[in-house]
Amino acid sequence: MEKVLFICVHNSARSQMAEAYLNMFGQDDFLAESAGFEPTSVNPLVVEVMKEEGVDLSAKETRSAFDLFREGRMYSHVITVCNDDHEARCPVYPGVVNRIHIPFADPAGMRGTREEQLSRIRELRDEIKAAVKEFVAWVREGAEGDFAKRIGR
């Protein structure tokens, strides 16, 4: 089983969506978790758009990447989904076979009406969903080459 950790800044959106999708699409081959550098709470608009996909994040709690590191958690893959400037703050996990950085827009910075924000978060959700599906295929094919380049990031 491939253990995967998704990390973003607050563990409030991007990493939560990626974790949910990997656990959905990866079935028995993957176990995904997520965490953040500065955990807050799950973004309610993210909860709403994920519910449209049949994924309930309403009871999810955020976690600290550094707490997981201190607990000695081991992962086959650590995937950062935050902006490039935050990726460097990710701790180096012992025993990690593969570290991948896939930057996605931060919903916390999205402005506009509620509907405009929901629309942009839906687009983000769909980008993350597609990347996770491609990640599953990549690992099942043998994880050859640079994954971020494979998906054009």
Catalytic machinery residues = 8, 82, 90
Instruction: Tell me the β-bridge partners of 43.
Output: none
Question: Which phi and psi angles does 58 have, rounded to 5°?
Answer: -60, -30
Per-residue tokens: 111 = 């402005």
| Residue at token pair 């709690």 | 61
DSSP 8-state assignment for residue 91: P
- Looking only at the bridges linking them, the beta strands covering 2-8 and 98-101 are unpaired
Closest CA relative to residue 17, chosen from 32, 2, 1: 32
